[in-house]
Amino acid sequence: MSYREALEALKRGEYEDVINWFEGLPPEQRDGKACVLAALAHFKREEYQAAAELYAEAVKAGGTDAADWAKMEALAKSNSAAEIYVHVPAPHYPTKTDLLSWPSVPPGAIPDPPAARSCRCCIKWFRLWLGNGAGAVLTVLMDLLIKIVGRVFGYRGTVWTNWYRHGMVVGVLLLAYIRERLSAENLKSTYPPGELVAFLKNGPPPPPGVARFRTADGSWNNLSDPKEGAANTRFLRNVEFSATHPEKSPRLLTPNPREISLKLLTRPDDADGQPDMAPVLFLNLLAASWIQFMTHDWISHGDVAPNSLITVPLPDDDPAIQRYHQHELVISTTEPDPTRNAGMRPDPAATSFINEVTHWWDGSQIYGSDQATQDHLRSHKSGKMRLGPGGLLPVDPKTGVEETAFMRNWWVGLSMLHTLFVREHNAICDMLHRAYPNWDDNLLFNVARLINAAVMAKIHSVEWTPAILPNQTLEMGMNSNWYGLLTYLRHKSKDRKTVAEINIGNPELGGIVGNPINKHDCVFGLSEEFVEVYRLHSLLPETLQLRRRGIPGIYPEAFAASRQRGSTLLTQQYAMSDLFFSFGNQHPGALVLNNFPRFMQDLSVPGNSFFDLGAVDILRARERGVPRYNEFRRQLGLKPIRSFDDLTDDPKALNNLRSVYGGPPDNVEDLDLLIGTLAEAQRPTHFGFGETVFQIFVVSASRRLQADRFYTDCYNEDVYTPEGLRWIDQTDFKTVILRHYPELADTGLANIKNAFEPWDEGPVLSRDSHPLRAWDRDLKPDPWRGDAYRNA
């Protein structure tokens, strides 16, 4: 076989023949090109160590393409270290019967509730009555005020919203107005009217204990609609069903998703020819890890369809053609919903898909979305979760990857947060055991889970969201969601209680948490549109800058090498506190055009050695019937753009947009949602992303709390215990980190309040890197002093 014949065999997928050809060559004929051909055959067979050795041999031999071969050698090494050929977790496809079955709670899974607390004293009853009575009156007045402000001031200009251009009070009321309008108009159940979620029919009464505790799969949160928000139920919608038609070829591939990825997402080269990431100066890398940690609690489409493929042609100038000797990108479709038209009434939506995890904010990423997973992760002693040596997550002996409930897209940033909050769960168990020494393992576990999930929800609401959107009006609005406006304004952060002594029963003044449930006449579930606005991959860097406390120097680690088993290798090499120290001192990428991680455009995943996640992000919205950018804005009550000039005045960005989508005149109706949101240069003050994404954030941030019984009607001492409510009130992200890694108190973490800010050492902190401090009333006398929190 000649080299040309071997090349043709490679293109046909006859990889073993190519490897045999190479191995039969005499040593003097094994030049760089021959090595690369055999290396690529091994690479496509997911034999990454063998591929890395042959690429290294080719680089040593030299040639005009040696620089590209070196990149492939590095990628193959990363894939080998990560053992990326292993499916983590193993593929699983629930059947129609599984999805339509009545929720089952195994005996003993939910504990008997503890003995009823003694009757509340008259003072507590009076405070409750006073708070509810005042709330009823104030709700009427607040609703009227919100409507008046919304109609008088408005929030839309010629194209963009302007709520942030008003004073803070008017701005907060306008945000409330936007939230109420979206809740009234943009919550759409994908189940037929009159049907229970998952098409359930009459069944048994609620099992014992579910009124007080969360189930593993999220069922029975609503005692009259048992599968509302449960795992393996449908994603809902935030747009009219008439706008949710999945795109088919040729529209599905127009413009070409790979061309969009290359021209509008790719990071440019710096002076050394390396990807040049535009950073977010006011965030650290923990903020990027955190949002993936959260989305894994909320949303997952599960495994892709095994035998259904979308073929994306590669543009003629695509570098992957020469690198991989292929002319198309093959992407599996989303697994379809097997429950379509399972009820007596036809499905209202044109399409639907299944969420494999619970929709609730319940910590399912560490506790599991099914009973078997939860049982496996528990120690079954003192309510605690299992941990391995050194307080790290246990390692699965079959895969070499840490064990936790949600392991898709696993990397070391997730390992850090999963480890931290498993340890936090166990610390909560210790606290509860001291307060209630007679409680058994099951009771301790279930109450600790409630408390830990609420801690995570609070951190996301009042810390992560203001950190990525450091705007004073937004910060007040998010704190009002959790505490209520009255508590936020009257108390400094250390004195705020989620449930005040007299808790005003109004979501704006008294907060959503601890006040009555409100589902806005729609069953709870997260939506396909919610999934799409959380495509925040541009936050991730190409390389992790790892450090060790007290030792100068940075140890770069390719992000791709930190995936799957690579995470285990890193947590064995670096102390967990050093990893947090490293992430606290590295910036994430900005959510703008041409700032997508290069490694994600040339990614290997189990079963597919060449995968462009940027192209996939574009394709998924089209495939799942999420409207494109302009129609998406119309559906949310926003003004459509008239030309690409409305998005940005950057000449390079405009030229790239027009080269892909056509123009002038600009073909704005073809603009994809992800590209439009990244291109938005007109953003509210200090916002890390634009207003289109923010609309879904506005409605979802409130709804995740307001529709959940365990954050509303059941957020009280009887369910969480007085000690549990106090734990939540006294805990923030910094507290959690220092509770488990106290050695970090001697780092820049001590200088800041919000642990998602850069962990700068000071002595004076940059205003650009710490905009939240400008209006922080806890600081005195100078908010820019690095020692402000030490001296406060």
Q: Which helix (H) or strand (E) covers residue 582, if one does?
A: helix 576-584
> Which of 252, 750, 290, 767 minimizes the C-alpha distance to 759?
750
Helix (H, G, I), strand (E, B) or coil at 236: strand
Find the distance separating the first CA and the last CA of the chain, reported in whole Å. 77
Q: Is 249 left (phi over 0), alpha (psi -120 to 50) or beta?
A: beta
Opening angle at CA 719, ends 718 and 720, nearest 5 = 105
Catalytic residue set = 296
By the 8 A CB rule, do 172 and 480 touch? yes
Backbone dihedral angles phi then psi of residue 629, each to the nearest 5 degrees: -50, -55
Opening angle at CA 76, ends 72 and 79, nearest 5 = 140
The CA distance from 457 to 52, in Å, is 43
Cβ neighbours of residue 109 closer than 8 Å, sequence gap 6 or more: 215, 216, 371
Helices 441-459 + 412-435 axis angle, to 10: 130
Cβ neighbours of residue 647 closer than 8 Å, sequence gap 6 or more: 641, 653, 657, 676, 679, 680, 681, 682
Q: Is 29 left (phi over 0), alpha (psi -120 to 50) or beta?
A: alpha
Token pair in block for residue 82:
């990560």
Cβ neighbours of residue 135 closer than 8 Å, sequence gap 6 or more: 503, 504, 505, 506, 509, 510, 515
- What is the full DSSP assignment across 305-326? PTT-EEEEEPPTT-HHHHHHS-
Residue 236's beta-bridge partner residues?
Answer: 527
> Which of 321, 455, 280, 449 minimizes the C-alpha distance to 378?
449
The CA distance from 642 to 660, in Å, is 17
Cβ neighbours of residue 428 closer than 8 Å, sequence gap 6 or more: 448, 451, 452, 724, 727
Opening angle at CA 64, ends 58 and 69, nearest 5 = 40
